Structure 1
Amino acid sequence: MLRQCATRLSRPSPLRAIAIRADCFATSSARRTDRAVIYAENGNPAEVLRVKSYDPLPPPPPGSVNIRFRLSPINPSDINVVQGVYPAKPTQQHVSGEDVFIGGNEGLAEVVDVGSNVDGLHKGDWVTLGKAQFGTWASTRVISAEDVIKLPAGGFSEVNAATINVNPPTAYNMLHQFVDLKEDDWVLQNGANSAVGQAVIQIAARKGIKTINFVRSRPDLDNLICSLTQLGATHVFTYDALSDKSLAKHVKQWTSKSPIRLLLNCVSGPDTTAMTRLLGDNAHLVSYGAMSKKPLSLPTSLFIFKNLTTHGYWQHRWYQEHSRQEREKLMRTLANLKLKEPEHEILDLSGEPSDEAATKRLRDTLTKIEAGFSKKVLLRLQ
């Protein structure tokens, strides 16, 4: 049965000098007040991740800044990095006598100290990271000024700023890079309730682009459908609707003047194969994930008779291929869109009396995430 929402409703002193590099932690005999989430080897995050204290940072060296992380999300890709199954790898760091890895790839940081020979950055500026897999699950870091991207003043809430580096730009670039979409054009996507999916809905709606969105069936389905509709979704269905022969007939009627030319896929598997039947000629299928953990299998006829083109998209690669100026421009564009904050929960470990207590709370949360907790979790360590 087809299901959709019928109504559309229109954030002690050091005893010796310690030399540091821009990508290292400082250590000394001072009382430790800062913390990082670290791991020494890949494995189950709820087993290998732990919280460890380290000393306050000394002043930054020339060309660098000290930053304090305000919020850092725990993304699915971060979990994959810890598991050792993600293609981007972190660099080993020295933290309080240990050579370890620091978790986290994304986060909102505030500049707290500026080294000499740094232009354009000042204390209090909000920044995000221009260096992949830097290790954002930490209280403070010292980083080269070239490796941070200054965020527009007043452009983001804390939560939006902390989550602006991965999901919203993925959504924005996929909507603009592969097909020249105009008002009243259509986009098809699965995983519509994901962070990227919700951003796709909002960005498309801002441009008058219509979306057909697929989600998994669940007990609170009606609430989810109406929530996505409030964001700007045109139609929302479960994957079960793909077996209803009337769906294709409805889609053909809706899109008769503008056949669907873009399918955004983060699921793969048989359901995505079924979704391709809704595409028009000369369409593009863009895959940026495989949440089903199943391969994407496509009939050859789609390529021969419909001239389908397939692509993969990875935001990390976009950052590698574009300049700092282009990244800053993208951040300004996203700030102007005023996207809604993702549903989230803040895991605040700053008040935990010991590293052991902080580690226990962290691991309990990671176990909940692994069990399917649907909200975005953001980490606060200080």
Structure 2
Amino acid sequence: MLFPIIRTFQKRWYSSSSDIIAKAMVYSQYGKPSEVLSIHTHPLPALTPSTLHLRFLASPINPADINQIEGVYPLKPPFSTEHIQSNVPVAIGGNEGVAMVVAVGDEVSGIKVGDWVVMAESGFGACTLCFSVVEIEAFTTASKTSYFPFHPGTWRTHAVATLADVQVIPNEGLDFLQAATIAINPSTAYRMLKDFVNLQEGDFVIQNGANSSVGQYVIQIANAWGIKTINIVRKRQVNSLPRVLALSTGPLQYHLTAIGATHVITDEELGSLVNKKKVKEWTGGKPIMLGLNCVGGKGATEMAKYLSNDAYYVTYGAMSRQPLTLPASLLIFKNIYFSGFWMSHWGKTHSRDARAEMLYDIATMMRNGRIRGARLERVEWDTRVDDAEAFRSLKTAIDKGISSFGNGKQVLVMI
């Protein structure tokens, strides 16, 4: 059915179908990704006055993406036939990526063809950390909002979206592989450094999980702002890591120092009196007002003891899956504030302008070489070949995403 959109000196006709043939990596049940995923080809829904057409440039394979497909991640996308003309309800893989606007409806303003966008909604373009189903359901109930936008999933060639689903990012001088990973990890690091303590040049921050993606962005952004970091990593054994990663604390310490870390220590050193004295010498007695925790467990408790009176201790993950146990003295006598941070929650409670300002700052630091993205391995999704043949080549990247072996984070590049 056709219907006209009438404007002065202009008429555009919209239909129920599009000439664009889209592809998406989908699954109809939870399980091992290489077994349940397949490529689904479908016509892209037609442009309407209030929608956009997007062409995805790149989408990373994150651990959370794999966990979602396996059915073990707290936040799960809905299975649906909507928008992709599937015979059975399916979900589309992926939570992060960058797309280019290829068409704009007549009633949409503030965005144009050629703009690069990341996804603004949590299920579509921003993944969450390891929080429980109860915590996520509680937040969803309290906020009375869904975590799923127009249609979730970023492992696809094209999508239809509304303006509310996307956020324009500045792309001048920015590599699209960097842009594909800008919305989650660097944004998390940026907000935690900016939102809890009014840090000044020369101030100190202490963090665990310093070799994680977020941890490395914390190091680089802090260094760009003149903030010093004390970085905690696990004591590493030679046989515990793939060869592409650090084989001991030494090489890892060298890498973190090279990207801007001020000091690096191991979790085993945290509880020693010698190390506590050493940290005091490093800081010159200056207070440590911000601690960042993504690990949990005993080491996270020890890290809290390094904080000064009235400091903030921010938890944004729990990689050890161990609880954070706190001595009452830290609350009573040191008046330390313990808080959580979730990028998805921040996005729900802040304006598009605030997010645009943040992404502009991060993109500028990337362009200027002040921060480097995570090590990425480009994986080409050749949409010109048969779907079964294309999936065979993509399966290797998915398996690497599961095992974490390879030359860095796998990023799907649609060609």
TM-score (norm: length of structure 2): 0.79
Q: Is the 8 A contact 1:51 1:358 kept in 2?
A: no
What is residue 165 of structure 1 aligned with on the other side? 183
Please point out which of 349, 360, 364 is paired with 2:396: 364
CA distance in 2 between partners of 1:85 and 1:256 (Å):
46
Q: Is the 8 A contact 2:17 2:46 kept in 1?
A: no
- 1:232 partnered with 2:260: yes
CA distance in 2 between partners of 1:79 and 1:296 (Å):
26
Please point out which of 205, 215, 240 is paired with 1:187: 205
- Which AA in structure 2 matches 1:178? F
- 1:258 partnered with 2:246: no
What is residue 409 of structure 2 aligned with on the other side? 376
CA distance in 1 between partners of 2:217 and 2:357 (Å):
18
- Report how far residue 172 of structure 1 moved: 0.7
Q: Is the 8 A contact 2:62 2:401 kept in 1?
A: no
- 1:202 partnered with 2:220: yes
The verdict on how the C-alpha distance between 1:278 and 1:47 changes in structure 2, with shifts beyond 3 A counting, is farther
- Report how far residue 56 of structure 1 moved: 4.1
Q: Is the 8 A contact 1:47 1:363 kept in 2?
A: no
- Which AA in structure 1 matches 2:102? V
- Report how far residue 41 of structure 1 moved: 2.3
Please point out which of 92, 102, 121 is paired with 1:112: 102
CA distance in 1 between partners of 2:74 and 2:354 (Å):
24
CA distance in 2 between partners of 1:145 and 1:292 (Å):
38
- Report how far residue 174 of structure 1 moved: 0.5
- 1:98 partnered with 2:88: yes
| 1:302-348 deviations in Å (ceiling 9; x for gaps) | 22222222111100001111122222122112122222121111222
- Report how far residue 78 of structure 1 moved: 2.2
The verdict on how the C-alpha distance between 1:110 and 1:315 changes in structure 2, with shifts beyond 3 A counting, is same
SS at match of 1:91: coil
CA distance in 1 between partners of 2:324 and 2:389 (Å):
43
| 1:261-308 deviations in Å (ceiling 9; x for gaps) | 211111112221222222222222111111112222222222222222
Please point out which of 17, 40, 47 is paired with 2:28: 40
| 1:126-174 deviations in Å (ceiling 9; x for gaps) | 1111122221110000111232111114152212211111111110111
CA distance in 2 between partners of 1:174 and 1:51 (Å):
38
- 1:60 partnered with 2:47: yes
What is residue 9 of structure 1 aligned with on the other side? none
Indicate the larger mover: 183-192 or 295-304. 295-304
- Which AA in structure 2 matches 1:377? Q
Q: Is the 8 A contact 2:66 2:402 kept in 1?
A: no
Q: Is the 8 A contact 1:35 1:381 kept in 2?
A: no
Indicate the larger mover: 356-365 or 65-74. 356-365
SS at match of 2:270: helix
- Aligned residue runs from structure 1 range 343-358, under 5 A: 343-350=375-382, 353-358=385-390
SS at match of 1:181: coil
The verdict on how the C-alpha distance between 1:294 and 1:355 changes in structure 2, with shifts beyond 3 A counting, is farther
CA distance in 2 between partners of 1:358 and 1:214 (Å):
41
- 1:296 partnered with 2:324: yes
CA distance in 2 between partners of 1:143 and 1:88 (Å):
21
- Which AA in structure 2 matches 1:144? T
Aligned-pair identity in percent equals 43
The verdict on how the C-alpha distance between 1:47 and 1:287 changes in structure 2, with shifts beyond 3 A counting, is farther
- Report how far residue 89 of structure 1 moved: 3.5
- Report how far residue 256 of structure 1 moved: 3.6
- Report how far residue 121 of structure 1 moved: 1.9
Q: Is the 8 A contact 1:344 1:377 kept in 2?
A: yes
| 1:82-105 deviations in Å (ceiling 9; x for gaps) | 333444332334233332111112
What is residue 79 of structure 1 aligned with on the other side? 66
CA distance in 2 between partners of 1:321 and 1:85 (Å):
27
The verdict on how the C-alpha distance between 1:192 and 1:107 changes in structure 2, with shifts beyond 3 A counting, is same
CA distance in 1 between partners of 2:284 and 2:74 (Å):
41
- Which AA in structure 2 matches 1:366? I
CA distance in 1 between partners of 2:213 and 2:326 (Å):
26
Aligned-residue RMSD, C-alpha: 2.4
CA distance in 1 between partners of 2:386 and 2:185 (Å):
33
SS at match of 2:288: coil
Please point out which of 56, 61, 66 is paired with 1:69: 56
CA distance in 1 between partners of 2:315 and 2:386 (Å):
43
- Which AA in structure 1 matches 2:38? V
Q: Is the 8 A contact 2:55 2:99 kept in 1?
A: yes
TM-score (norm: length of structure 1): 0.86
| 1:48-72 deviations in Å (ceiling 9; x for gaps) | 3x13131342541111111111111
CA distance in 2 between partners of 1:42 and 1:275 (Å):
38
